[in-house]
Amino acid sequence: MRTSRKLLISALLVIVLTVAAVPLLNLSVYTPARAAEAYISAIEDADAERAFSYLTSPTPSSTLALNHDVLNAAPDLPRDAEATTVSTDGDRAKVELSYVLASQTQTVELSLVKLPATAGLFDRWAIEQEEWPTLDLQVSGSSTATVNGYGVAAGEVPVLFPATYLVGFDATYLKSKSERAEVRAPTDTATIKLSPEPTPKLEQAVDDQVTEHLHKCVKSETLYPAGCVFGYDTDNEILGDVKWSLTREPQVSLTASGNDLELTPSTVEVRVQGRYRDIVTAAEHDFDETLSFVMGGSVVVKSSQVSFDPRRLGNVTVM
């Protein structure tokens, strides 16, 4: 009985001492400044999940770049964090945070909010983000890019701060040099414009589609092949079907045009043969004409799929 009583007294004493120590610990350990430093420590360790516990943010539009792998592959992460609580007003606080990123000391002011206490005793503070910091990826001719080597959708990509990100494109059909972007604060948006260069495989894929398009067109037996960029214009009455053939194929290469990839304009020549009745004399004649036109078009790469939209530049001329 004496042993049980002693254990009970000891347990009560521990509880009393712990409760008595809570205010002191909340003032010295569980502070807004310590929370900011702990957040930077989590980023430094590439521990995205732990970093999330020190953030209060809206639901991100995408989580593709909000993970351990992307952070772990970052060329630079923060270190040497030091924070000072500037002011506290009830459940809100202002903190001045400094850290080193890419050998440069950065200083940022953060807003923190108090969360429900741990175990009902110890204060919990989190960095308040009204919006996620983002990488604004503007990629010509593609709907995707890579961030630290991991695929993401182009446009605004939510990321964790502070960190350095390498944005680029290195895929089957498109590639580009990597661009470096630093995101230093919760409000940052880093705009990256990429103009990926077509790879030989993309040019071959477009060449195949151009060839397929033209060869399908010349199988037509009408003056205006459906869905094609050429046709033969005449006032005379055509007798029966006509025969098309391809006499000069385009030289396929690709160039960037604004935010699009374009087929470099190239001359195409087709031959049309048939028989007609003259609308004035009613005499019947054979005809055999070679037509020339300049072909262009837009190219889009999406989800590893290549699409080509043909376009004629200028008029069709009879040679």
Q: How many helices (H) and strands (E) does the chain have?
A: 5, 19
Range of the domain at 313: 200-318
Of 128, 154, 188, the residue at which a domain comes to its end is 128
pTM of this structure: 0.66
Residue 144 lies in a domain: yes
Residue 72 lies in a domain: no
CATH code, domain carrying 246: 3.10.450
Predicted confidence at residue 148, as pLDDT, reads 95
Predicted confidence at residue 120, as pLDDT, reads 53
In the 8-state DSSP scheme, what is residue 279?
T
Domain count, the chain: 3
Do residues 123 and 11 share a domain?
A: yes
286 HSE (CA, 13 A, CB side)? 3
Predicted confidence at residue 28, as pLDDT, reads 39
Residue 272 lies in a domain: yes
Predicted confidence at residue 267, as pLDDT, reads 96
Do residues 216 and 314 share a domain?
A: yes
Do residues 161 and 122 share a domain?
A: no
Among residues 244, 246, 241, 245, the alpha carbon closest in space to that of 276 is found at 241
Task: Please say whether the dihedral angle defined by the alpha carbons of residues 287, 288, 293 and 298, taken in this order, is positive or negative.
Answer: positive
Q: Is 258 left (phi over 0), alpha (psi -120 to 50) or beta?
A: left
Do residues 39 and 119 share a domain?
A: yes
Of 150, 171, 197, the residue at which a domain comes to its end is 197
Rg (C-alpha) for the chain, rounded Å, is 34
Predicted confidence at residue 7, as pLDDT, reads 52
Do residues 214 and 314 share a domain?
A: yes
Do residues 234 and 174 share a domain?
A: no
Strands (E), 119-259: 122-128, 134-139, 144-147, 150-153, 155-158, 163-170, 174-183, 189-194, 197-198, 237-248, 254-257
pLDDT digits over 31-40, tens only? 999 999 999 9
Distance of alpha carbon 103 from alpha carbon 296, whole angstroms: 48
Predicted confidence at residue 119, as pLDDT, reads 57
Of 197, 226, 242, the residue at which a domain comes to its end is 197
**pLDDT below 50 — which residues of the chain?**
12-22, 24-29
Distance of alpha carbon 36 from alpha carbon 126, whole angstroms: 8
Do residues 40 and 21 share a domain?
A: yes
Task: Please say whether the dihedral angle defined by the alpha carbons of residues 147, 149, 150 and 155, taken in this order, is positive or negative.
Answer: positive
Among residues 159, 115, 118, 167, the alpha carbon closest in space to that of 139 is found at 167
Contact 114, 171 (CB under 8 A): no
Do residues 286 and 252 share a domain?
A: yes
